[in-house]
Structure 1
Amino acid sequence: MLKNYIGVLMLNEKEDNIKSLTKSRPIASIPIGGRYRIIDFVLSNMVNSGIHNVGIFTNTKSRSLVDHVGSGQPWDLDRKINGLFLFNLTSERSQLNDIDVLSENMEYIYRTKQEYVIMSSSYMVCNIDYNEAAKYHEESGSDITLIYKKTNNAKKHYVGCSTLYINEENKVLSIGKNIGAEDKLNIGMEMFIMKKSTLIDIINKCIQTGSHNSIKAAIYDDVSQLNVNAYEFKGYLQCVNSIKNYYKTSMDMLNGKVTKELFFNNGLIYTKSKDEAPTKYFNEAKVNNSLIANGCILKGKIDKSVISRRVTVEEGAEIKNCIIFQNCQIKKGCKLTNVIIDKNTIISENTVLEGDEEFPVVIEKKFRT
């Protein structure tokens, strides 16, 4: 168990291709799977691996994130010693890079008693046991270990993600970017294992020289000078960095094999619980291969969809291949196909919306809570 490790989550992921879901929330707090948020996966992975000191470094528009993670109680991080720490929630600057965020909160890093750090983003959705990766890192004697996944479908997925070029000894030679030109690539999962002293040295160097504004860029540009190794993750992975990938990840969760691996294989995925009544299925309701959260009222036809809490689907409505966030109302006679609907939205009677699996229609609210 990784009691000698702290977890550092950097939530300044690129939102260029998913902005319709991140206007009032970070990627980390986008709902997924009916009752979860994207950050639940990395938080649960760390806790299941024995990490009990986690720092979340975020930018503004973090209200939904703070409301969700709270004191960390669902992940057993509500502790007197160690626990969950959130930083940069009230910065006057709307967008800070991670070197700025870390440098303003160096006291947290200095005061932690743990020797090692696992640094990660939130949008890599997987269920990973960090113990094996940490063991590999310590035995290798490397400065930094990057976690990666081999993929055979890089033209369609992981576009925009980092790509690792490694030799037979798993040493990282160089790092590039997936532009969708090749299928077989090593995809960097933006998970870094290192000593705390190494992280401090990188931050101080970036501040002193002004050479980089992110930890990731500093590591990637200095792989020739640092001893950087790679550890292969062989499980299910998706990067939620676009509407297309978010939609695919959600639809993958309807596959029983993926669901079992993603939510159970290396430990459970925890989330904020809400004590609500179970979903009520009326006689006329027809539901097929869907994830349905609690508190819903269902009278229509639902096929291969993900329905969040407190959604009402009235009689005569037909929903297929859709993702519907909480507190939505789908009125009589609606026909929705390949649609993502944000929170607190009312779809009027007899509305017909049809998107494509590659380009789903996104219905967003101007104001969200």
Structure 2
Amino acid sequence: MRLMAVIDASVRMSGLEDLTMYRSTASIPFSGRYRLIDFALSNVVNSNINLVGVFPAYPFVSLLDHIGVGKSWDLNRRKDGLFFLPGSQKVGNYVSVGAFSMLGEHRSFFVKSRQEHVVITNCFTVAQLDFEEMLDAHLASGKDITEAICEDGTHLKSYILSKKLLLELMESYEEKKVISIEDVVNRKKAPYTFNTYTHDGFVAVIDSTENYFRSAMSLLEAGQREKLYLKDRPIYTKVKDEPPTKHLKGSQVSQALIGNGCTIAGSVKKSIISRAVSIQEGARLENCIIMQKSKIGKNCELTCVIADKDVEIDDGVVLKGTWQQPIVLRKGERVTKEDVQ
């Protein structure tokens, strides 16, 4: 009960525009069954934090539908629990984590809390972060602000500071010419002192479509999933009741993650298939990410393709992207043979 959490779901990444036309970064599907926010929420609850404020960006309907009142993360509580705290700005174009103008709109959320320290984290870093351990390191350092980093120096953009200091920054950020907690840390703004906490596990920073593709596909490699999905620190998500996937006669699947409720009659290799996807006979998929409820027609050939939710690909369509530039089909898009000739 020493920590409260801020999950900043407001930062928009220009490199993810194809996947965020109808949703925020936080609700982008990842690894077949999860959304990006699931990793931040799971880090929080696995660190025994019971008071969580989610600060979303518009449009946030998809995100609100996914997290609801926090039941899937055991955050639907009478005391503390999960709070959805949208800002008044309808264009959530914050460029760094922990914008003071956004947090300040909900100052009472912090004032009323019983916890003395705050962790501010983001929704585009996929990792297993132990915030209890990070808080111990922060307190032992005697510094004002602790930032999580990787062994290679990658900034994970998660921060711990006292609630008292955060409230002071909310009041004085304009005078001090800073915009966010990330800005304060990056500029090493005086008079504050800074500490780092080093994380040595799996990390993926999802700041572009190319990074999204490579990071997701890396989980198909031997041993990589075990680095992220730890038995003692599970990743929680909204439960979907779907029937088992049907593998029809003639289908072939190798080195793939397949969600529930799919119907597979074609060939799937080194791909991630979300729930309720239909892949018809003769279709061949390799190095693809296919999101939920998409339909792949007969005799299609797809290589290095990201198909967002509800995409329909007609019979015989051939799409070949590369690892450096995967082809992205936007949510609800329909692709015919005439479209690619």
TM over 0.5: yes
Mark the runs of 5 or more structure 1 residues left unpaired by the alignment.
Answer: 152-185
Q: Residues 128 and 266 of structure 1 are in contact (CA less than 8 Å); yes or no, is this contact kept in structure 2? A: no
1:40-119 alignment runs, 5 A limit: 40-88=38-86, 91=88, 93-95=90-92, 97=94, 98-119=99-120
Give distance in 2, aligned partners of 1:357 and 1:252.
12
1:1-369 alignment runs, 5 A limit: 3-88=1-86, 91=88, 93-95=90-92, 97=94, 98-151=99-152, 186-207=153-174, 209=175, 211-264=177-230, 267-365=233-331
Letter in 1 for 2:71: Q
Post-superposition offset of 1:357: 0.4
Post-superposition offset of 1:256: 3.8
Post-superposition offset of 1:218: 2.7
Letter in 2 for 1:100: S
Post-superposition offset of 1:223: 3.9
Q: Deviations over 1:259-293 (max 9, x none)?
A: 11211155000000011101011111100010000
Letter in 2 for 1:260: E
Q: Deviations over 1:58-82 (max 9, x none)?
A: 1210011000001101111010101
Mark the runs of 5 or more structure 2 residues left unpaired by the alignment.
Answer: 335-341
**Matched residue, 2:338:** none
Letter in 2 for 1:137: H
**Segments of 4+ in structure 1 off by > 4 A?**
none
Q: Residues 203 and 215 of structure 1 are in contact (CA less than 8 Å); yes or no, is this contact kept in structure 2? A: no
Q: Residues 206 and 218 of structure 1 are in contact (CA less than 8 Å); yes or no, is this contact kept in structure 2? A: no
Q: Deviations over 1:295-326 (max 9, x none)?
A: 00000000000000100000000000000000
Q: Residues 146 and 192 of structure 1 are in contact (CA less than 8 Å); yes or no, is this contact kept in structure 2? A: yes
Q: Which secondary structure state, in structure 2, belongs to the residue aligned with residue 213 of structure 1? A: coil
Give distance in 1, aligned partners of 2:135 and 2:178.
26
Give distance in 1, aligned partners of 2:233 and 2:29.
20
Q: Which secondary structure state, in structure 2, belongs to the residue aligned with residue 39 of structure 1? A: helix
Letter in 2 for 1:192: Y
Q: Residues 12 and 24 of structure 2 are in contact (CA less than 8 Å); yes or no, is this contact kept in structure 1? A: no
**Aligned residue-pair number:** 330
Q: Residues 127 and 265 of structure 1 are in contact (CA less than 8 Å); yes or no, is this contact kept in structure 2? A: no
Post-superposition offset of 1:150: 2.3
Q: Residues 312 and 333 of structure 2 are in contact (CA less than 8 Å); yes or no, is this contact kept in structure 1? A: no
Q: Which secondary structure state, in structure 1, belongs to the residue aligned with residue 315 of structure 2? A: coil
Give distance in 2, aligned partners of 1:253 and 1:19.
23
Give distance in 2, aligned partners of 1:71 and 1:351.
41
Aligned CA distance change for structure 1 residues 360 and 42 (closer, same or farther; 3 Å): same
Q: Residues 310 and 332 of structure 2 are in contact (CA less than 8 Å); yes or no, is this contact kept in structure 1? A: no
Q: Residues 126 and 238 of structure 1 are in contact (CA less than 8 Å); yes or no, is this contact kept in structure 2? A: yes
Give distance in 2, aligned partners of 1:92 and 1:248.
33
Give distance in 1, aligned partners of 2:282 and 2:135.
53
Post-superposition offset of 1:203: 1.3
Give distance in 1, aligned partners of 2:233 and 2:114.
26
Post-superposition offset of 1:221: 2.3
Give distance in 2, aligned partners of 1:128 and 1:88.
25
TM-score, scaled to structure 2: 0.93
Give distance in 2, aligned partners of 1:256 and 1:197.
45
**Matched residue, 1:157:** none
Post-superposition offset of 1:226: 1.0
Q: Residues 145 and 192 of structure 1 are in contact (CA less than 8 Å); yes or no, is this contact kept in structure 2? A: yes
Give distance in 1, aligned partners of 2:206 and 2:47.
23
Post-superposition offset of 1:201: 1.1
Q: Residues 116 and 193 of structure 1 are in contact (CA less than 8 Å); yes or no, is this contact kept in structure 2? A: yes
Aligned CA distance change for structure 1 residues 256 and 127 (closer, same or farther; 3 Å): farther
Letter in 1 for 2:156: M
**Matched residue, 1:179:** none
TM-score, scaled to structure 1: 0.86
Say what the alpha-carbon RMSD is for the aligned residues: 1.6
Q: Which secondary structure state, in structure 2, belongs to the residue aligned with residue 264 of structure 1? A: coil
Aligned CA distance change for structure 1 residues 367 and 59 (closer, same or farther; 3 Å): farther
Give distance in 2, aligned partners of 1:311 and 1:344.
9
Give distance in 2, aligned partners of 1:51 and 1:352.
48
